[in-house]
Amino acid sequence: MGLINSTQLKIKEAQIIMLGLDSSGKSTLLYKLKCNEVFLTEPTVGFNVEMIKTSKDMTLTIWDVGGQQKMRTAWDNYLEDTDCLVYVVDSSDKRHLEESKKELELILRHDSIKNVPVVVLANKQDLPGALSAEEVTEKLNMKKQCQNQNCCLL
Q: Which of 68, 145, 147, 149 is catalytic?
A: 68
Annotated binding residues, written as ranges, equal 20-27, 44, 67, 123-126
Sheet strand arrangement including 47-55: 47-55, 58-65, 12-19, 84-90, 118-123, 151-153
CA–CA separation, 120 vs 87, rounded Å? 5
Annotated binding residues for Mg(2+), written as ranges, equal 27, 44
Topology of domain 12-153 in CATH is Rossmann fold (3.40.50)
The domains of the chain are located at: 12-153
More confident residue, 53 or 154: 53
Whether 149 sits among the annotated catalytic residues: the reply is no
Whole-model pTM: value is 0.89
Summarised one tens digit per residue, pLDDT across range 88-129 is 999 999 999 999 999 999 999 999 998 999 999 999 999 999
Annotated binding residues for GTP, written as ranges, equal 20-27, 67, 123-126
